[in-house]
Structure 1
Amino acid sequence: MGGRGRSRRTQRKHFRDGRENVWKNEKNEEENGAKNNENGNGNRPVHWQPFAIENAAFDAYYKEQGIVGSEEWDSFIQCLRKPLPAAFRINSSSQFSTDIRSQLEDEFMKSLQGEVTDENDAEGIKSLPWYPDNFAWQSSFSRMQLRKNKNLERFHEFLKQENEIGNITRQEAVSMVPPLFLDVHQNHFVLDMCAAPGSKTFQLLEMIHQESEVGSLPTGMVIANDVDVQRCNLLIHQTKRMCTANLAVTNHEAQHFPSCHMKKNHENAAELSMTELLFDRVLCDVPCSGDGTLRKAPDIWKKWTVGMANGVHCLQLQIAMRGLALLKTGGKMVYSTCSMNPVENEAVVSEILRRCGESVELVDVSTELPQLLRRPGLKSWKVRDKGVWLASHKDACKNGRPGIVPSMFPSGQVHIDTSGSYRKIIDGEVCEDDNNGDDEVEPTGDEANVLVNEVSSLPLERCMRIVPHDQNTGAFFIAVLHKLSPLPVLQTKSSKQSQEPHSDNNDTKTKVVVDDVEVDTKGMDVDVLGTKNGESVEPTADADVIITETDEVPDSNPSKRLKGSEPEQDKTTNKVLSRAEKANDKRKLQVQGKWYGVDPIVYFKDDAILTNIKDFYGIRESFPFERHLITRNSDTNHVKRIYYVSQSVKNVVELNFAAGEQLKITSIGLKMFERQTSKEGTSSPCVFRISSEGLPLLLPYMTKQIACATPVDFKHLLQYKSIKFPDFVDDGFREKLAALSLGCCVVVLNKDNEVCSDPPKVDKSTITIGCWKGRASLSVMVTAIDCQELLERLLVRLGTEKGSLTDDKLANGDEVVKVDAEENVDSEMVTLATVG
């Protein structure tokens, strides 16, 4: 046979990988299994083993730190070893949010109560008492129970359907807490620094839109940022269900999030509404070791080491300080982690307070959300490194631990340089010792006691730590910071010696958990005094405080950096562009300002198309179009999608242009119009149809292409997707459809069977479907799950007293005749939309 083909290549690969070159059959496997099986029963060996849910180093570390008292340690550790209950949140922006809550309260809580047994130790389903309006729920049933039990299986299908629709969001219970302490209102500019996967961002958007009326947009906005491009895509997918024009997604390292401020002498300075991008609220949910998620991710038990926290401490501090620099005076920032380690929690907060002085205060929020059980922050802790406990930075230097920085300790004050002399850093100033560094002087008296067991003088008890066994949740740490005045610029004349104790910190490598995703991170450091390479740094205009790092500090996430996601060197850029020019048949590399590989942001200014859209849909002049429509295609002659941005996002876009496009924006705006490319679309007077995402915002301003349908006809549209005009039950609806132009139209449910005004009045309870009027039929293109969901909600809301939704017969008594393929529009052309 010549040994050709795949088999030969595979054998060579096996040799290269050092695999055993034997042919194994079922008999060999059984013999090997009998030898290796501990029970000796001849069964095949089980290669998969459950995760070990214990770690001696973990136990020793947290027992010493005193996270919980010794009398409750057993309850604490037993709870950590149990699976985490599933939690989900009803999206308050959903039109059916109260209906879903009622269904959970009246139907599932009662029907599933009988499934609770002592054997599975389940609590059934219950609302989380501390979450507003009973919109957060928790289920203690395991996945196996949900699949095998018929009653639970129905509940499981309900969760999957509502999550896919966007009515609920599956989210860990403690992960819902940080946004609740930000006190977000509709006029606030909010920055989510480490936003992916987007559950907290969704909460922030709900808060922004909570007070807005139908057809209006909030004056604030949310910028959701993440360092990884792929996780940005996950973030976009999660927040897309919100259908908001007040969101922008950016792709930056959080610790280097750019200051977007107008350049001096800008030609259009008078036209800009804002000159610098600062935020009223900042959510700083930083990457961490993630040991608070042990119940959800049991693989962390085996991987956990104390170095995971030590290696990420400085990165967390960088991100937090950058967040405060971008925060407006009078604004609030929430710092949070899903870790229990004080090195990542209290140590970071205490260093923030030391650096910022009286400019920032730690807010006492103990009276807020009173039903949320939480514990005060620690005021004393130790640092462990390579098997050695360190009570102070002096101990770290004595034991040769140059990667352990002073900010990890409660006082953050004692510092020893390479000559062995002591230095204290008080309020950003270096206090020299009396011996001029000739000999090491041992501290005496009270100072010696402080070094043995340091206790912070800062009000760290205002922080909150959520532990698992208090309310059967995961673990979390939260601190609320209030910016009282501009941050001080810390400067000092410092020698290069003062940086040497930190210089080896880059050798520390660890794995960091960012929302259950492991990230390889090297230890990072920020000079406490705001110096770089031993030289004082002058203040800059783009931040309130100087935050620098040593030259050796690597990219915070090099393993996830994608090619083309950052500005390339000139030589590389020219090479890429030349390839694009040669490949005429391929899509050219998109350029957004200085960012390569990202779609540009272009204002849509085609007056002919805009006039055609306005006339076709009868859009009132009061709807703001000027400089609110953008595209992501530099070739304006081939625009497929038009996005709409709010006034707040528009101001940010204009400021970003004036600042030289400092922001790398991956997603922005609400998809409003889409070009219809099917045969039916080309024959329509308007080639652009209204996107389902943009329909709720645009509908109150439309005067044409709208028809009111009775509940029966509305139900038939959802059931059969395409219906010929003679098959509609209501004559008035049929006549209205005949008067509409060919193309995109909107069908509004006339739930009261009353005479519908023209155009119909729109409020938060209005239910609509985007449709396409063909030559002989009306088509709606929605997924089966969308149809099923809306039909169920209509049955609950309208009931069957009047028989309005029980008549499945059409006007002529025949079954629905399927329309020809030419009359069907593409599968994404028209989708379900609701207002409110």
Structure 2
Amino acid sequence: MGGGRKRGRTQRRHFKQGRENVWKHNPQRPVAAGSEGAEWSGDGREGNPSWQPFATENPAFEDYYKAQQIIPEEEWSDFMNMLRKPLPATFRINASCQFFQDICSQLENDFRKPLETEVSDDHEEDAIRPLPWYPGNLAWHLNFSRMQLRRNQALESFHEFLKQENEVGNITRQEAVSMVPPLFLNVQPDHHILDMCAAPGSKTFQLLEMIHQSTKPGLLPNAMVVANDVDVQRCNLLIHQTKRMCTANLIVTNHEAQNFPGCNLAKFSSETCADDSKLLRLEFDRVLCDVPCSGDGTVRKAPDMWRKWNAGMGNGLHRLQVEIAMRGIGLLKLGGRMVYSTCSMNPVENEAVVAEILRRCGDSVELLDVSNELPELVRRPGLSTWKVRDRGSWFGTHEDVPRYRKNVISPSMFPSGKGTMDSHMARGSVEVNTDVVDADLKDSENMVGGEQETKASTTDGSNGGNPNTEETIKLQSNEVQNGSDKKSDSISTHTEYSNLPLHHCMRIVPHDQNSGAFFIAVLQKLAPVNENQVTEAIKCENSMSKDSTGKLKKGLGSDKAPHKENTVPQQGIDDGTVLDGQQNGDMDNETSNDKSLEEAKVLVNEVENDQAGTGDRRRKPQNQGRWRGVDPVIFFKDEATIGSIISFYGIKDTFPLDGHLVTRNPDANHVKRIYYVSKSVQEVLGLNVKVGERLKITSLGLKIFERQSSKDGSPCTFRLSSEGLPLLLPYITKQILYASAMDFQHLLQYRTIKFPDFVDAKFGEEASALLPGCCVVVLREGHQNIDSIAMDPSAIAIVCWKGKTNLCVMVSPLDGKELLERICLRYGLKVPKADDAKPSKKIDESDEQPDHSTEAVDPEARPESKASDMEIADVKEAE
């Protein structure tokens, strides 16, 4: 992700492969002293002499964090013992889901008490309990690891419950500390929110829960979430995760976070920002900046981290983390709040990044004290002092760093950041020896068995390397002559302290509340970022990047190489302070269609003239799309099709359709799916078109209509989508039926029923009288007035197809199974077994069923990568 030739490639490889997240065996790995891996595995391999557990030792890890003093010395034993235990499973209930109360009741009555009775002897405290710091008792902690959930017979039914509810979106399995950052955003119902590094999507889903929970059931919130990720394959996991939410308030984009494009129409338009009816600049009220990191806080969940970890991992990611965070500040509205977070314990990735943000932004950004928020969450204040380790040596100040390493170990990694400007200027005339940097990378890749495929296997700051190249030896010799050479394993006698309020940051450590580790800082933007401060730092950083002739290398102006290893792009400057083409040029390597200032002005004039009917017809149509390999977003305006849909389903005029329907196919005659977007998303799409489609949108909107064909035909070629039905149900007046609990159960159980076979004969007659095609069946139980059922947000309904002789359910088997169980539990019906789902002689399957080809999983929800079923079904929170 982001940056240099080798760094970007390495990180992208890591994102695609992912690190191991289960406690597996490895016959080639030595057993660490005191390791309890055999006990944790629970897989019956203890008697197998060829099996050996995970090693949970890394002396470099212990030495590093002892020296950093992230916890007091007397707690070290507790800290390490907790790190060697598997992580307990945690999950969160979706409070905006239809069966929220039923799930809470089921947890308390059907699982909590039985689990405590069956397994209380083997586990401390409660077997299952709500997390005390999470609002509304929506998050739950289990005193079992994921492996124990899979292996323990007593937990089998509970594990099946978790898997099923997770698949349909009623709960989300997520690490407890990963749930914390969104809570500190203080999301409000009308906020525009940006999740900069969103995959795999658990935090994005959490943000969507928040905005929908703040709105009355059945209504769309005014808020919106833009979820971004740099990697296409991880974007697909993100889409798969968020599709469970069925929301019209989400846009998924595919950009480098540090180069997220700015959409600023105000610079190119004579319109003023006083016109509130038009969105002129894409800014966000809240930004979640959960950056790529070394990930050593996830060692309990990903034990392979013990083997892979080295101190250079954090050093290599520091500059990228600063760039992403500064871009987030630039996209933030005045008064807005940004949360910076990592799942690392390393101060170089945490406090050092926050300190650099504050230094660059000055009084424009404030580090908030949020110690009064979530009071039951155990957290520790940020550090004010730390050291930097590079190639076996400790450095307390940047002046201590050997000259040939100053291009790798930057001043911003140190507590005071002292000498940032002076050091940059002094180094401006020093030519960077790229051979030394390349040797650095090779050394780090040869460490620990040559396996460095983590986020930190980067060019910057590999630890433990052996710089035995001729160039390095010469440079070291020069350093010795200058009296500044540092021997291996040396420790700097100087210690810096930061005078910034870094104690307002928070670090969550595992042994405080039996969790993973996390770092969180909450920043608020008080004023536009001082342009002079940031540009001066950027100029100094850019002076480091020179070619062999002494000339500056091509930097941000290059579409092919937007981010160089030794440059810091102008990420902290607000969009309004510099030209859009300079600061926010699209950073997609495969596309070089950036608009200059004049081109953007021409584009806006063309759009305005086109709206007035005087536009140049020769210009490229918008619907051809800008991004290679990504379908364009097209506003669906086929009046004939929309009219037939409204007429067939009797959709009320009060439901806004105009301007809210979009597709991904420019050919209106071959559109398969129509999506619905909220007003906030609609405004962003309109702005994106006007600025030249700067956003690379991979997914958006709520699927509401699908093209459907059948043998008998239908007056309407589009059927209702199950995902969009809850939103549309209160506005439908035709093609709607009301069924008893028994008939509703039979429909879900058998999926196809002939009209005479319904228990309620009147219901069968009403069904046969409908026009052929799609219809809606609503459960009438629990409602006194049938006429008002559809207006009730708690109404339960499914999409069906009315053929000549039968009704056929058009709900996925998984959703149908879950809904069937909910109906049976709520109304005291017998829950059918798997064998009972087979139709009886009386209830025969008919051949008059519609073509179910469109019932397959939406391609946008299905990852295009070769991710395993386990990876998709059990989407892990791999920060």
Scaled to the shorter chain, the TM-score interval is 0.7 to 0.9
The yes-or-no answer on 1:342 pairing with 2:382 is no
Kindly provide the CA deviation profile for residues 636-672 of structure 1, in whole angstroms up to 9, marking residues without a partner as x.
2211111111111110011001111111111111111
- The 3 A distance-change label for structure 1 pair 54 and 568 is farther
Which of 701, 704, 715 pairs up with 2:734?
704
Which of 596, 607, 610 pairs up with 2:642?
610
The yes-or-no answer on 1:388 pairing with 2:417 is no
Kindly provide the CA deviation profile for residues 427-473 of structure 1, in whole angstroms up to 9, marking residues without a partner as x.
xxxxxxxxxxxx9999xxxxxxx981111111111100000000110
- How far did 1:487 drift? 0.8
Q: Distance in 1 between matches of 2:277 and 2:260?
A: 22
The yes-or-no answer on 1:467 pairing with 2:509 is yes
- How far did 1:257 drift? 0.3
- The 3 A distance-change label for structure 1 pair 456 and 279 is same
Q: 3-state SS of the aligned residue for 1:248?
A: strand
Aligned to 2:848: 822
Q: Indicate the larger mover: 342-351 or 207-216.
A: 207-216
- How far did 1:538 drift? 12
Which of 755, 761, 770 pairs up with 1:731?
761
Q: 3-state SS of the aligned residue for 1:619?
A: coil
Which of 687, 690, 693 pairs up with 1:655?
687
What is the CA RMSD across the aligned residues, in angstroms?
3.9
Q: Distance in 1 between matches of 2:786 and 2:306?
A: 62
Q: Distance in 2 between matches of 1:820 and 1:493?
A: 71
Q: What amino acid maps onto 1:605 in structure 2? A: K
Q: Distance in 2 between matches of 1:180 and 1:747?
A: 38
The yes-or-no answer on 1:366 pairing with 2:371 is yes
- Whether contact under 8 Å (2:92, 2:171) holds in the other structure is yes
Which of 796, 804, 823 pairs up with 1:794?
823
| Rg larger in structure | 1
Q: Distance in 1 between matches of 2:345 and 2:518?
A: 7
The yes-or-no answer on 1:636 pairing with 2:668 is yes
The yes-or-no answer on 1:276 pairing with 2:281 is yes
- Whether contact under 8 Å (2:265, 2:690) holds in the other structure is yes
Aligned to 1:351: 356
TM-score, length-normalised on structure 2?
0.74
- How far did 1:732 drift? 3.2
- How far did 1:821 drift? 2.3
Q: Distance in 1 between matches of 2:206 and 2:231?
A: 21
Aligned to 1:16: none
- Whether contact under 8 Å (1:246, 1:648) holds in the other structure is yes
- The 3 A distance-change label for structure 1 pair 774 and 724 is same
Q: Distance in 2 between matches of 1:422 and 1:271?
A: 46
Count residues in correspondence.
710
Q: 3-state SS of the aligned residue for 1:595?
A: coil
Kindly provide the CA deviation profile for residues 214-270 of structure 1, in whole angstroms up to 9, marking residues without a partner as x.
442111211000001111111111000111111100000000000001165659998
Which of 47, 69, 72 pairs up with 1:69?
72
Relative contact order higher in (CA < 8 Å, ≥ 6 apart)? 2
- Whether contact under 8 Å (1:225, 1:249) holds in the other structure is yes
Aligned to 1:203: 206
Which 5+ residue runs of structure 2 have no aligned equivalent?
A: 1-26, 32-45, 430-480, 485-491, 548-562, 596-621, 858-879
The yes-or-no answer on 1:687 pairing with 2:717 is yes
Percent same amino acid at aligned positions? Answer: 58
- How far did 1:74 drift? 0.5
Aligned to 1:313: 318
- How far did 1:157 drift? 1.1
The yes-or-no answer on 1:194 pairing with 2:220 is no
The yes-or-no answer on 1:477 pairing with 2:480 is no
- Whether contact under 8 Å (1:464, 1:477) holds in the other structure is yes
Kindly provide the CA deviation profile for residues 93-143 of structure 1, in whole angstroms up to 9, marking residues without a partner as x.
211122112211222121111333665668522211111111111222245
Which of 667, 682, 686 pairs up with 2:699?
667
- How far did 1:530 drift? 8.9
- Whether contact under 8 Å (2:202, 2:241) holds in the other structure is yes
Which of 184, 187, 192 pairs up with 1:184?
187
The yes-or-no answer on 1:262 pairing with 2:265 is yes
Which of 304, 313, 333 pairs up with 1:299?
304
Q: 3-state SS of the aligned residue for 1:156?
A: helix
Q: Distance in 1 between matches of 2:270 and 2:846?
A: 57
Q: Distance in 2 between matches of 1:626 and 1:688?
A: 17
Q: What amino acid maps onto 2:632 in structure 1? A: P
- The 3 A distance-change label for structure 1 pair 736 and 58 is same
Q: What amino acid maps onto 2:88 in structure 1? A: P
TM-score, length-normalised on structure 1?
0.78
Q: Distance in 1 between matches of 2:183 and 2:801?
A: 42
- Whether contact under 8 Å (2:283, 2:333) holds in the other structure is yes
- Whether contact under 8 Å (1:289, 1:339) holds in the other structure is yes
Kindly provide the CA deviation profile for residues 403-436 of structure 1, in whole angstroms up to 9, marking residues without a partner as x.
111111111022564997999xxxxxxxxxxxxx
- The 3 A distance-change label for structure 1 pair 417 and 262 is closer
Aligned to 2:863: none
| 1:125-524 superposed matches below 5 A | 125-143=128-146, 145-262=148-265, 273-397=278-402, 400-415=405-420, 417=423, 452-490=494-532, 498-499=540-541, 503=545
- How far did 1:357 drift? 0.9
Q: Distance in 2 between matches of 1:591 and 1:55?
A: 55
Q: 3-state SS of the aligned residue for 1:252?
A: coil
Which of 677, 680, 693 pairs up with 1:645?
677
- Whether contact under 8 Å (1:84, 1:474) holds in the other structure is yes
Going by fraction, where is strand more abundant, 1 or 2?
Answer: 1
- Whether contact under 8 Å (2:318, 2:349) holds in the other structure is yes
Q: 3-state SS of the aligned residue for 1:329?
A: strand
- Whether contact under 8 Å (1:526, 1:548) holds in the other structure is no
Q: 3-state SS of the aligned residue for 1:105?
A: helix
Aligned to 1:430: none
- How far did 1:756 drift? 1.6
Q: 3-state SS of the aligned residue for 1:92?
A: coil
Which 5+ residue runs of structure 1 have no aligned equivalent?
A: 1-32, 38-42, 424-438, 443-449, 506-520, 532-536, 550-554, 556-560, 570-589, 832-836
- The 3 A distance-change label for structure 1 pair 538 and 591 is closer
Q: 3-state SS of the aligned residue for 1:140?
A: strand
- The 3 A distance-change label for structure 1 pair 750 and 420 is closer
Kindly provide the CA deviation profile for residues 44-73 of structure 1, in whole angstroms up to 9, marking residues without a partner as x.
997764332111111011001011110000
- The 3 A distance-change label for structure 1 pair 238 and 822 is same
- The 3 A distance-change label for structure 1 pair 530 and 376 is closer
Q: Distance in 1 between matches of 2:727 and 2:154?
A: 39
Q: Indicate the larger mover: 130-139 or 210-219.
A: 210-219
- Whether contact under 8 Å (2:251, 2:697) holds in the other structure is yes
Aligned to 1:785: 814
- Whether contact under 8 Å (1:769, 1:780) holds in the other structure is yes
Q: Distance in 2 between matches of 1:160 and 1:495?
A: 50
Q: 3-state SS of the aligned residue for 2:848?
A: helix
| 1:77-116 superposed matches below 5 A | 77-116=80-119
- Whether contact under 8 Å (2:789, 2:795) holds in the other structure is no
Q: What amino acid maps onto 2:301 in structure 1? A: K
- How far did 1:783 drift? 3.9
- How far did 1:490 drift? 2.3
Q: Distance in 2 between matches of 1:661 and 1:792?
A: 45
- The 3 A distance-change label for structure 1 pair 763 and 527 is closer
- Whether contact under 8 Å (2:428, 2:540) holds in the other structure is no
Q: 3-state SS of the aligned residue for 2:845?
A: coil
- The 3 A distance-change label for structure 1 pair 627 and 131 is same
Q: Distance in 2 between matches of 1:219 and 1:766?
A: 23
- The 3 A distance-change label for structure 1 pair 820 and 338 is same
Q: Distance in 2 between matches of 1:496 and 1:233?
A: 34
- Whether contact under 8 Å (1:272, 1:655) holds in the other structure is no
